[in-house]
Amino acid sequence: MGELAEEQDDGTVARVAAIDIAKASGMVCLRVPHDTIEGRRVQEVWNVAATTNVILELGDKLICQGIQRVVMESTGPYWRPFFYLLEARGLECWLVNARDVKNVPGRPKTDKLDAVWLAKLAERGMVRASFVPPKSVRQLRDLTRTRTVFVQERTRHKHRVDKILQDAQIKLSSVVSDLFGVSSRAMLDALVAGERSPRTLADLARASLAAKKPALIEALTGQFDEHHGRLLHVLLDSIDHLTAQIRELDRLIALALEEITAPSDDTGTSPPDAEDTAPAASRTAQDLVERLDAIPGVGPTAAQIILAEIGADMSRFPTPEHLVSWAKLCPRTTQSGTKNTAGPTGKGNPWLKGALGEAASAAARTDTFLGARYRRIVKRRGHSKTLVAVARSILVIAWHLINDPDARYQDLGADWHQRHLNPARKTRELVRQLQALGHTVSLAPAS
């Protein structure tokens, strides 16, 4: 009966286990073939605690039963202990989206019934595994996501600083472009230290800001008192603390990138007995970050986030279309009868989509192929949808740069569409536009 533990040709799996996970426990459903009666299934359901020792005992039991695939729902962060510990035991673990495995509406809902339903879907091959990166990429992802949260929190504190200044009638942000530049920060520290003279504060301006001293004196004239000073002192300390933490995360991210190696494209063409042949140089994730940094709009931080969210191994995404679909950067097809419509893209990975959205917004302002693509599409699709289209293009480029060890980004140029323009098609389009305006058009070849 050993072959029953393997996946069948029709996609079914003979020996499966499903876990409906809660915070402190998990409901396990085991379904295996009957020992003597062909075609009958044996089912066992029991509850286990979500502690390390109990989960390891569960893994040993599943291995003894010949379970090959363990399926569980992605319930907050509570699936992680079950997934990681059972995976370390050698079991094939599948994490599935709870939206895709909902029970039939109108049926009773209990943890036991949910576990049985999930097991039945798994044994019939009716579930899809979600992308769970390896441990090194998961650790890099934790660092980049924490840095993103800290940067957002620091930005909120900076906005609170400006609100305090506005409350005190200090209009410094109306004169300076960066409220936390060298000159502005010196003025803020002086305000905290007790300096109230607008002229003395304006004398702290440096570089080009020194030419704006009359405007600075006017902007720094207000009613800044000790209450505002105490609040400003607390917020500036918080901003400095977050800045130090962000620098530390940058250092940890750089170390984590050096520990991640991308799979080499070794075809094995060299003779096996050639001992003097040196192995191909492995690519680190830092090399991939530098390669992604060449894409317009993508900086080192965005490149690190992209790599942390999709990983350095593109074998999980056979084509760029698979990656774009997983990231929810393409419209969903909705077909009914003879009518085909495009539905919304969906939520996707918010960390990845956030970084790609910022990169697309930056690329839209450049004189590059991506910038020209934005300006072509925005005229008929609007700003928001065009940013999604440019973000999709950036993700496709990233897939090729990560998947191909020899690929390097080379911009096609902002005039690429003009150079590859179909003159006859453009002529017909312009003629139709003139005819729509009420003109009679007759064309004559140029001499």
- pLDDT score of 296: 95
- pLDDT score of 266: 52
- pLDDT score of 10: 55
- pLDDT score of 337: 78
- Amino acid letter, residue 411: D
Give the HSE-up count for residue 191: Cα atoms under 13 Å, Cβ half-sphere.
30
pLDDT in tens, 29-61: 999 998 888 878 899 999 999 999 999 999 999
Extract the tokens encoding 379: 């005229």
Domain ranges for the chain, please list them: 2-130, 138-257, 283-403
Hey, which residues does 400 pair with through a beta bridge?
Answer: none
3-state secondary structure of 350: helix
Using CA atoms, how far apart are residues 383 and 317, in angstroms rounded to an integer?
Answer: 29
CATH fold, domain 2-130, is Nucleotidyltransferase; domain 5 (3.30.420)
Indicate the Cα dihedral angle 192, 198, 204, 208, nearest 10°: 130
Of 286, 339, 352, which is closest to residue 145 (Cα–Cα)?
352
Reading the chain (447 residues) residue by residue, the pLDDT tens digits are 333 334 455 567 889 999 999 999 999 999 999 888 887 889 999 999 999 999 999 999 999 999 989 999 888 899 999 999 999 999 999 999 887 788 777 788 888 999 999 999 998 888 888 899 999 999 999 999 999 999 999 999 999 999 999 999 999 999 999 999 999 999 999 999 999 999 999 999 998 898 999 999 999 999 999 999 999 999 999 999 999 999 999 999 999 999 888 776 554 434 444 444 334 446 788 899 999 999 999 999 999 999 999 999 998 899 999 999 999 998 877 777 778 777 777 788 899 999 999 999 999 999 999 999 999 999 888 999 999 999 999 999 999 999 998 899 999 998 888 888 778 888 888 899 999 999 998 888 877
pTM for this model (two decimals): 0.84
Using CA atoms, how far apart are residues 184 and 202, in angstroms rounded to an integer?
Answer: 9
